[in-house]
Every structure is written in C-alpha cells, then in structure tokens.
Amino acid sequence: MKHFDHANPYTSTRIPVFARNVVSTSHPLAAQAGLRILHQGGNAVDAAVAAAAAMTLVEPVSNGLGGDAFCILWDGRQLHGLNSSGPAPAAWTPDYFRRKYGNDAQHPPLRGIDAVTVPGAVGAWAALSERFGRLPFADLMAPAVEIAERGYLVPPVVRQKWAAATPLLKDAPGFAGTFLPWGRAPEVGELFRFPAAARALRAIGETKGEAFYRGEIAAAIAKFAAAHGGSLTAADLAAWQPEWVTPVSKSYRGYTLHEIPPNGQGIAALIALGILSHFDVAALPVDSVASQHLQIEAMKLAFADVYRYVAEPSSMEVTPEQMLDDSYLASRARLIDVKRAQEFKPGNPVKGGTIYLTAADESGMMVSFIQSNYMGFGSGCVEPGFGISLHNRGHAFSLAEGHPNRVAPGKRPFHTIIPGFLTKDGQPVMSFGVMGANMQPQGHMQTLVRMLDYHQAPQAACDAPRWRFNAGRAINAEAAMDPRTVQGLVDLGHEVEVIQDSYQDFGAGQFIWRMGDPAVEGYQAASDPRRDGLAAGF
C-alpha cells in the first residue's frame, strides 16, 4: 500500500470511501445499482455492467444506449482490455460526405444521423458478462429497468447540461419527444421517466444483447436511420463484434500505467508521463508554476504526436511501441524550456460529453470502464421506440486525403474515451479514469503526478484544481486554481483562460485504490465533486 498524505488541502464535498466491495460512478443511483448486484452475489464485472446500464438513464447528457465503451479489468490474475468502439457504416466514404455536404467538408457532420457509427456500449456489457460475469445477464439490467420505469429526480449538474444542450438539439429527430417531455429541459428535482429505454433494456437483458445487434432493436435503429437520410443498416450492426486487446503501458515512478491501445488517445497519457520521467517533478512544490508548466509542456508534446499519428491501427504510420520508445521520449523531453511556453510540432517516432465508472470486489477483481455518446447527447438523434440515444463519434473522422484517420467503410474513428489502470510489480493498484474529451489523458497525467510524485490521496488528487491544454499555447485553468499560479503561467507565455464551468472543461474522475488484501484491507475510493457522483461500498 502506498503511503498517502490524507490531509486534503482542497475544498471538497467528498470524503474517501474505504470498503472491501466498492462502486464509484458520477451518479449515486448508478453506484447503488452496482452495489445491489454485489449484494446479490455478483462480482465487480456484474456491478460495473449494472452501473453502466443505469448511467445511460441517469446521465443521458453524457452517454446512452447508442454510445461506445472501453474497459480494462483485472480478473484476479491478469489484465484484460476491451475495445468496444464501433466502425463506420459500409456506405461511408469521403465521396459519400462530399456529395451530401460539399467539397469543403473536412469531417462528417457534428450532429445528426450522418454522425452515427455502430454503437458499441451494449456489446461491451454483453462481452464482459459472458467472459467474466457471475450472475445472469438479465439480472444486471434489472436495476436500470426499474429506474427507467419508475423514473428518477434530475440532479443539479445533469440538469445544467441538459438545459445547455436543448437549444442545439431540440429539432434533432426524436430528441424533443424523448428528452423534452415538458417542452423544455427538466428542472432540478423533477421526475424523468424513460419507458422506451426500459423496453430496450428488457430486450437486451433477455437476449444478452442480441436484440440490439441482430434483433428487434437493430431493425428499429436501421429503420430510423433510413427515415432520416442516414446509411447505418441492420447489416452494419450485425457484422460488428467488440475486440479484446492487450493494453499498452509505460512505467512511471515505479508504477505502470496501462491504457487501451489506438484507436484511442490513452497513449497520450503514457507519452506525457514518459516525458515527465526525465524531470524531478517531486522537487517542485505541488501546485507551483514550475510543476504545472512542466506537465503542460509534456502534455502538449504528447498531443502533437497523438493528433498526427493515432488512428485505427491498420492505418497508422508508426506503432505505439515507436511512439513510446524511451530514447524517443527523452529526445522530446529535451525540447521543453522550463522558462517559457512553446508550441510543438509532431516528432518522428520512426527514429527512435462521457461517463466513467469503476468497481472492485473482495475477491480482487477490479474494473475500469468508460462509455460515451461523445459530445453530450451525441448526435441528438433518438430512436423513439426503444429510446436509443445515438452518439456522434463519426464526426471524429477526417475527410482529408492521406490522413491516417480518414473515413472508410468499416473503419473505427479516433476515440477520446479511455479507461486507466495502474499496477506495481505486476499486481493491481488502481482502476481509474477522468472523463471529458481531450481532458481525459490530461486528467490521467495530472492526478497520477499528484498521487505518485506528491503522495496526495486519490480524493485530494481528484479535488485539486486542473488545467486543460487546447491548442498552441492556449490552456484553460479551473477557477479554483491559485491566481498566483495562473499569473505565473501567463508570465511564462501560456495563454490562460480561467473557466468557471468545471464540468465542461476539466472532466470528472472516479478512483479505486487497492489498500492491500481486498478481503482484509479492501480499497479506498474517490469520486469527483465536479459531477453528481458517489463512491459507495460495503
């Protein structure tokens, strides 16, 4: 067990939770759904699947039945990775989009039915349950079915994002009929019911997900897409399967961080930590300008390479191993000037709105799981019969000739959602994640530096003010950051905008740290105060 300083120097509405069985999510009802399954004799995978199903209902501003998912889990003996992101429909080519949207189009559209790739979240649930679960799959859907049928009272953070999305999406097919039952977004404390999703969840549970990809739900999605000018077909859904993968990893301060390999951006956190390993970060005060500057510059260097090279693996010009090569990362570290902010270009490695949840049980199984509709409610399109809120992950494709992420039939787009997992000497230490677009690898790096370099406990590392790199020398700083630190970064040449909305710009994390023998000492868990979440256990 790592020795933490449990004196939390940051204002927080949360305290760490210590338990032998624990679920941490960004909504209390989802955490309780997971605990309910654990009480019924399920394991951490069962709990994570139940919590994920509940999250599609209680935080629809971030995820839905029509989203994608990824998972890293420790089964008690070894680590496994699951890439459950779906590909482009068979009809998608650059010409398809240019015929519809003009020759100047650089990407598939931001919203609407032509932003929708095959959804993978339900497939992730089924695959995890089939391989590692203990309880019948239908039992895992039961808590979510109950929430959908009886409804729940809308909490503050979810309500804020619901209201913000309404002007943008109110005219999208199926959106108003599903998410604006009052003709507006719900108020805090209003009861929202989702009977269409209850029908979907029952069918998914009874068929172990088959109804979604090769049954009545698949037929409904295909019919809905065709009716609104889309090209996603029942054949596209039926042809897809999630992929078990080997996580990519990088050591830092005696620990090893594991991420899902490309087509995801998790490798950015590994690159940044590999660069930081060439500096004595712990010698600098934890919230100092010098420490934050080093981390920002390392993250910039990581993104320069990630945005240039990462795509579906078969389309990449370089391998993850080349991007993570020690000598290459040392050369990138030498580009950092500790006295000024810079803009970085990609190197040459050849030479050298999402939800996150985590669950762990006393047998030692730990699950790091993330699912997303991408930008809030995603495409805005909702198949009404089953309440399938479809993501807009297709917008991440490029239409540019020669780009590694150029759209093609059956190809998966560049992905932002990333679960994280930490080990030491081959043994599990922490399942964790920080949701929020390109904030995710930045959040992984910032929280790990706090825990591993500065010995801050997970809840303190979660509570601490964050920054977010955007592009060039532009960063956002959370309003809670010390104004002297902000000014110090400005003096170094960073273009800093202080942001009040923590949810939108700085992500939200959930953390479970193993304290020793899971059946004896158990775990400590943290939940981010930037959302309506809860870490709960017994």
- Are 523 and 389 in a shared domain? no
Is residue 409 domain-resident?
Answer: no
Average pLDDT, the chain: 95
Residue 286 in this model has a pLDDT that exceeds 70: yes
pLDDT at 350: 64
Does residue 361 sit within a domain? no
Q: Does residue 428 share a domain with residue 281? A: yes
288/266 same-domain check: yes
Q: Is residue 401 part of a domain?
A: no
Residue 81 has pLDDT above 50, yes or no: yes
Last residue of a domain, one of 364, 396, 428: 396
Q: Catalytic pick from 56, 256, 354, 485? A: 354
What percent of the chain stands above pLDDT 90?
92
Cβ-based neighbours of 528, under 8 Å, separated by 6 or more: 14, 26, 434, 462, 463, 507, 508, 509, 510
Range 85-89 average pLDDT? 98
CA nearest to 374, candidates 389, 359, 385: 389
- The conformational region for residue 387 under phi > 0 = left, psi -120 to 50 = alpha, else beta, is left
Between CA 268 and CA 299 the distance in angstroms is 7
Residues 421 and 333 in one domain: yes
Distant-in-sequence, close-in-space partners of 315: CB < 8 Å, separation ≥ 6: 404, 405, 406, 411
Whether 397 has a pLDDT exceeding 60, the answer reads yes
Same domain, 121 and 150: yes
pLDDT by residue (tens digit) across 105-145? 999 999 999 999 999 999 999 999 999 999 999 999 999 99
Is 525 within a domain? yes
pLDDT digit string, tens, across residues 139-185: 999 999 999 999 999 999 999 999 999 999 999 999 999 999 999 99
Residues 40, 175: one domain? yes
| CA distance linking residue 376 with residue 392, whole number of Å | 9
- Asked which of 328, 363, 396 is the last residue of a domain, the reply is 396
Range of the domain at 282: 248-354+417-537
Q: Give the pLDDT confidence of 289-343 residue by residue, as tens digits.
A: 999 999 999 999 999 999 999 999 999 999 999 999 999 999 999 999 999 999 9
With 90 as the cut, is the pLDDT of residue 74 above it? yes
Is residue 403 situated within a structural domain?
A: no
- Count of domains observed in the chain: 2
CATH number at residue 327: 3.60.20.40
- CA angle, 254 as apex, 251 and 258 as ends, to 5°? 35
Q: Span 475-488, mean pLDDT? A: 95
Same structural domain, 235 and 349: no
Round to whole Å and give the CA distance between 60 and 389.
8
Which carries the bigger pLDDT value, residue 31 or residue 435? Answer: 31
Q: Is 48 found in the same domain as 188?
A: yes
Angle CA 534–535–538, to nearest 5: 130
Give the per-residue pLDDT at 507: 86
Find the mean pLDDT for residues 392-406. Answer: 95
Do 429 and 283 lie in one domain? The reply is: yes
| Tokens (6 digits) for 92 | 């998608």
Output the pLDDT for position 474.
96
Assess whether 238 and 256 both reside in one domain: no
Same domain assignment for residues 106 and 128:
yes
The confidence band for 455, taking pLDDT boundaries of 50, 70 and 90, is very high
Both structure tokens of 91: 């009809």
198 within 8 A of 143, measured Cβ to Cβ: no
CA 145 to centroid of chain Cα atoms: 24
User: What's the pLDDT band for 352 if we cut at 50, 70, 90?
Assistant: very low
Query: 5 lies in a domain?
Result: no
Residue 362 lies in a domain: no
For residues 340-349, average pLDDT: 91
79 and 174 fall within a common domain: yes
**Sign of the CA dihedral running 385, 96, 235, 130:** negative
**Looking at the predicted structure, is the pLDDT value of residue 36 above 70?**
yes
Does the annotation mark 354 as catalytic? yes
| 3 within some domain | no
